[in-house]
Structure 1
Amino acid sequence: SGGQAHVLLEHTPRLMSPTAYKALTYAIAVNEANAKMFRVVACPTAGSCGVMPGTMCAVAEELKLDDEAMLRGFFMGAGIGNVITNQACVAGAVGGCQAEVGSAAAMAAGAVVAMLEGTTKQAINAVALCLKNVLGLVCDPVGGLVEVPCVKRNGIYAVHALSAAEMAMAGLISQIPVDEVIEAMDRIGRALPSTLRETSEGGLATTETGRRIAKQLAEM
């Protein structure tokens, strides 16, 4: 893995806002760093480490927010991660990627609301809106490495987090309370077959191309 964030930096976006495009690019850049064995902060995991910093940095840059705003975001994101960890799980091996990148996106969504000085209720709604739209996402890393589809998935879900935060800031409310959404995520994750929980025995990992890539990696 590598160079994909650079490709995005060199590209002129035609469809996305500057904030969303930066979040996409930055999240992929951070996760590429993880794939290269650079030092990263697991938030909540190394495989999903790009979502929260990518989203927060993009918002801070585009809206010219100060360090105080970033601190609010960090505390909110950390608090959300703590709640999810205590009520469910954040590991793809236990709950699928919904628990991993989904939790990261939920943390990022709440963090952005806090950065923009939204209310606690808005932040909680952002978490619920974010998580309920990632339920069922499986963990199927090709070749057992946290690269395909993980790196690009970090970018996709950074934009997902912004969507949830925007909806919450606009006043949209999740009809299912956040605690129940987290509970549902946990139940769904534990119901997934082991082949779809980071074992590389299902999903994209077992496609023809996925198997070919795994074979090439094993022969290196």
Structure 2
Amino acid sequence: MLTYQTIQELCQAAEAAGSTISQVILAGQAQQLGLEEREVYDRMAQRLQVMKESVQTGLDPALRSASGLSGGDAAKLLAYARTGGICGSFVSEAIARAVATSECNAAMGKIVAAPTAGSCGILPGAVLSVLEAGQCSEEQAVMALFTAGGIGAVISNRATLAGAEGGCQAECGAAAAMAAAALAELRGGSPAQSAHACAIALKNQLGLVCDPVAGLVEVPCIKRNAAGVMIALAAAEMALAGVESKIPADECVSAMYEVGCSMPASLRETALGGLAATPTGRRLKQEIFGPSDS
């Protein structure tokens, strides 16, 4: 378990060592586990491979979840992306990969919870898209996952990554922050720019509730992964351009936790409020699980 309590501390450690956040995390993880850095790196490389496989599984047009609520949309998105899309093929394909991973999860496929199953599409959607576009090497992509992991560890230590505790801002919000920081480093940004990217992404999802229809991680979770990867890309672009977050990353994390604590239980994964409580949300739940006694 990484012990960094602040993103500022993480950035200072990287700057003092004249290295990147990912290198600091890799070295620290190896020391904590009593392993060689290469072995820890290889373990992360395996996670990148699982992410690739999850995307491929999710892109199967015939894939469907047991509930029938999801499946097949990632294939539609990829086909559309290849026409150029509104945002260009790179962004459209990133969305497709995020949705594919989430649909793989919904269909009980193997994914990397990054940081949770409900937000599993955002990080691979971002990092794999840069890799597939030839904008980074395989090794750089693996190292980017260490950066994301370091940011996620701080958020976990300082706040929460659980939708049941902090709403979807703690899941998709944290995932977008992790991905944004990773992208910033991946494209040559400094530790400080990764921190700004993290802050920008996180504060753009403050207040996002967790309201899964029928209590399943499908609606609206999957489409929030698509939005999350877009936020990560935008946040990284701003940070790399020199745009800074006026609110430091650590204060954004604290604010996220405070907002989550103030949310009613109905908006924290209980499926009792938000979209889950709409007439259509209730109807879908009944169609899947049958009439409720309540």
TM tier, smaller: over 0.9
Is 1:150 aligned to residue 221 of structure 2? Answer: yes
Identify the residue that residue 72 of structure 2 maps to in structure 1.
Answer: 3
Deviation at 1:15, TM superposition (A): 1.0
> TM-score, length-normalised on structure 2?
0.73
Is 1:22 aligned to residue 90 of structure 2? Answer: no
Identify the residue that residue 195 of structure 1 maps to in structure 2.
Answer: 266
Deviation at 1:219, TM superposition (A): 2.6
Identify the residue that residue 124 of structure 1 maps to in structure 2.
Answer: 195
Letter in 2 for 1:125: H
Letter in 1 for 2:78: L
Letter in 2 for 1:54: G
Identify the residue that residue 37 of structure 1 maps to in structure 2.
Answer: 108
For residues 121-176 of structure 1, the C-alpha deviation after alignment (integer angstroms, 9 at most, x for no partner) is 00000000000111000000000000000011101110110000000000000111
SS in 2 for 1:15: coil
Contact 1:87 1:182 in 2 (8 A): yes
Deviation at 1:64, TM superposition (A): 3.5
Pick from 216, 230, 233 the counterpart of residue 159 of structure 1: 230
Tell me, which stretches of 5 or more residues in structure 2 are unaligned?
A: 1-69
SS in 1 for 2:133: helix
Distance 2:286 2:176 in 1: 32
Deviation at 1:209, TM superposition (A): 0.5
**Which structure's CA Rg is the greater one?**
2
Distance 1:63 1:43 in 2: 23
Identify the residue that residue 69 of structure 1 maps to in structure 2.
Answer: 140
Contact 1:92 1:197 in 2 (8 A): yes
Letter in 2 for 1:28: V
- Structure 1 segments of 4 or more deviating over 3 A? none
Distance 1:55 1:119 in 2: 18
Deviation at 1:34, TM superposition (A): 0.4
Tell me, which stretches of 5 or more residues in structure 1 are unaligned?
A: none
Letter in 2 for 1:8: L
Identify the residue that residue 61 of structure 2 maps to in structure 1.
Answer: none
Q: Return the structure number with greater relative CO, CA threshold 8 A, min gap 6.
A: 1
Is 1:186 aligned to residue 257 of structure 2? Answer: yes
Identify the residue that residue 209 of structure 1 maps to in structure 2.
Answer: 280
> TM-score, length-normalised on structure 1?
0.97
Deviation at 1:189, TM superposition (A): 0.3
Letter in 1 for 2:206: L
Distance 1:147 1:168 in 2: 31
Q: Calculate percent identity across the aligned residue pairs.
A: 50
Distance 1:14 1:104 in 2: 24
SS in 1 for 2:95: helix
Aligned residues: 220
Distance 2:181 2:188 in 1: 11
Deviation at 1:9, TM superposition (A): 1.4
Distance 1:145 1:158 in 2: 21
SS in 2 for 1:186: helix
Contact 1:98 1:137 in 2 (8 A): yes
Letter in 2 for 1:137: L
